[in-house]
Amino acid sequence: MIIDELKRNCEINRFGFDYVETIEEGCQLVDQMIHEGDVVSHGGSVTLNECGIIDLLKSRKDITYLDRENCEDVQKLYRECFSADVYLTSSNAITKKGELYNVDGNGNRVAAMLFGPKKVIVIIGVNKIVENIDEAVKRVEEVAAVKNNIRLNKKNPCVQAGHCVHCNSPVKICREYTLITSSAIEKRIHIICVNQNLGY
């Protein structure tokens, strides 16, 4: 079974891993993993919105929520995220070998995944599981890049072409490419895989 293989490989890669059937179960699990007094933030993510994670964070009065949507200096907030106890995000793709592939526009999301926050919780839908790195790249170039450009109202060439054309547009959102193959600190990165299609 794909999930069994993915779980086994993620654990070999020193990631924490949970598989849940519904977004409600995923949200409950996240709620349990965030403790009283924690400083918490997140990257930009359609998945987190679809799961209700953002609403959950706003409702928790016992934590310090670094709200990227309501701050005077977003660059300052991005830097504060490196000292967070918990950072939440999704991933553009995850291979069956348990490798996390991501492409970013500002670099703040992938930077926080790589270093800084004490714990990183990555929520993915089963639609983001791919065979290998080549398929991860293909998924980003043919699915995620186009849909995110449309969502962010960016007039980049991929919107018309329907796939990445490796442009050099001044407003491109595909700038920083990362591949995380394992975690230096065991279980610092915890993956929650939801048995639903989520995000791009």
Domains in the chain: ranges and CATH = 2-194 (3.40.50.10420)
177's enclosing H/E stretch is: strand 176-180
- CA–CA separation, 118 and 94 (whole Å): 21
Distance of CA 179 to the CA centre of its chain: 12
Q: Is 160 helix (H, G, I), strand (E, B) or coil?
A: helix
DSSP state of 141: I
- Confidence class of residue 70 from pLDDT cuts 50, 70 and 90? confident
Give the pLDDT mean for 96-123.
Answer: 96
Which pLDDT band, with edges at 50, 70 and 90, does 170 fall under? very high
Does residue 83 carry a pLDDT above 90?
Answer: yes
* Token digits of residue 171: 């407003």
Q: Tell me the C-alpha distance between 145 and 84, whole Å.
A: 28
Question: What pLDDT does 9 receive?
Answer: 98
- The model's pTM: 0.94
Tokens of 80: 């504060």
pLDDT tier, 36 (very low <50, low <70, confident <90, very high otherwise): very high
